[in-house]
Amino acid sequence: MNKSYFIYTYGCQMNVHESEKLAGILSGMGYIEAQDVSDADIIVMNTCCVRETAETKVYGHLGRIKSQKKPGSVLAVCGCMTQQQGAADRLVKRCGFVDIVIGTFNQPRLCDYINEFLHTGTRIVEVWASENDGDCAETSNVKRSSGINAWVNIMYGCNNFCTYCIVPYVRGRERSRPIDDIISDVDGLLSDGYKQITLLGQNVNSYSYKDKTFIDLLKSLESDKKYRLKFMTSHPKDVSPELASLMAQSKTLAKNLHLPVQSGSNRILSEMNRRYTREQYFDKISRFKQEMPDIGLSSDIMVGFPTETEEDFVQTLDLVERVKYNNLFMFIYSRRSGTPADKMPQLDYATKQKRIDRLIKFQFEISKAVAAEKIGKVYEVLVSDKTDGKCYGKAENDIAISFKSDTVNVGDFVSVKVASAKNANLTGEVI
């Protein structure tokens, strides 16, 4: 019988895609996916450390896996958490039952580590500080599990050093993949039938390979084949008016922009080292709205950053009210050891909690209003799921719409007229 694997993934889309690569490596070794962790011969925990909650969850989860795993199975922990200063040592001390601990840069070599462990039975702990050859180590065999969408990394790492963020420390400096490799990956995926490609990077706008920019890359990915092209994440200091024009003209690019603002207060933005002001952010958003009046906008916002006052927070509410995002990811600031913000004067937990509750309520009403404005409009929906004749998909501006149809299939592009909105959920009819 085939040996099997089970992978747990914490964190962002980047990690979800990394896990698809880990699954590809394990499949290449002859392992099949287990239905349950207790059946698996190899268990991989792909971790995140952007916020403290993610780390706490990983430790709790590892404790549960200890009692679920079958005797002789191999437990490997990788991902951002293991890459933090001292974290691998802490993990090894706290969890004697973990067999393999590797860092983010070691992941493409998972196969070697497993073989070595199976051969020697000796615990492996290896966390490189960077890629061995300073290049983008890309795995060729990816086992995709995101339906009609395929993720494609265009770059790795981040040079921005926002003062709250651990990412530059655990993912290293920016490095971009060769443009021809990306183009051929996308071509291959379209031939395989994928209908949506999402380009991934911590800061996609600073993609740079030889003389090629992010705009060049997007232009190269325009195609006569029908598909939708998305990208994340953008940095407000780096998005250009050129990007807005290109998105407006393109048949391929989705008309949505995820542009994390983090705060609406100039003082806090400066403390965060974000390198833009709220005025500059508004200017950029206006440009995109001018080019695409029905553009879908989303953002990340953090409340309770060190020294954030009520006035600063009100500025955030004001920005949120003006921009009118259709989707907002809201976080409580979380201290990350080794980052500059960790040494700044901290806010108490109750204040942070009250602010996030206020922001969530505030945005809920905005999302409702933004959704109600869509009634009567017609969108091209890319169908991603269908259950019992009920279809779900996203419009070109990333708003989610559900509708009934017996004839439409997953992967189809269909014209749908929005008929009603319940809170932020839109329902439509095929026309």
For residues 351 and 189, give the distance between their C-alpha atoms in angstroms, rounded to a whole number.
47
Contacts (CB under 6 A) with ligand 5AD, residues 308-367 = 331, 333-334, 336
For residues 278 and 316, give the distance between their C-alpha atoms in angstroms, rounded to a whole number.
9
Site membership for ligand 5AD, residue 169 (CB under 6 A) = no
Tokens encoding 254: 């989705």
Contacts (CB under 6 A) with ligand SF4, residues 186-205 = 202-203
Which of ligand SF4, ligand 5AD, none binds 33 (CB below 5-8 Å, type-dependent)? none
Q: Give the alpha-carbon dihedral of 181, 183, 189, 190, to 10 degrees.
A: -160
Contacts (CB under 6 A) with ligand SF4, residues 124-183 = 158, 160-162, 165, 167-168
Which of ligand SF4, ligand 5AD, none binds 302 (CB below 5-8 Å, type-dependent)? ligand 5AD
Contacts (CB under 6 A) with ligand 5AD, residues 28-87 = 50-51
Instruction: Give the burial class of 103: count Cβ atoms within 10 A of its Cβ; 0-12 exposed, 13-18 middle, 19 or more buried.
Output: buried
Residues contacting 86, CB < 8 A, separation 6+: none
Site membership for ligand 5AD, residue 260 (CB under 6 A) = yes
Site membership for ligand SF4, residue 235 (CB under 6 A) = yes
CB atoms within 10 A of CB 264: 23
Residue number with CB closer to ligand 5AD (342 or 380): 342
The HSE-up count of residue 242 (CA atoms within 13 Å, CB side) is: 9
Q: How far is the CB of 132 from ligand SF4 (least distance, A)?
A: 23
Query: Could you tell me how many residues of this chain bind ligand 5AD (CB under 6 A)?
Result: 12
Site membership for ligand SF4, residue 243 (CB under 6 A) = no
Site membership for ligand 5AD, residue 268 (CB under 6 A) = no
Site membership for ligand 5AD, residue 269 (CB under 6 A) = no
For residues 237 and 133, give the distance between their C-alpha atoms in angstroms, rounded to a whole number.
30
Binding site for ligand 5AD (CB under 6 A): 50-51, 164-165, 260, 262, 300, 302, 331, 333-334, 336
Binding site for ligand SF4 (CB under 6 A): 158, 160-162, 165, 167-168, 202-203, 235
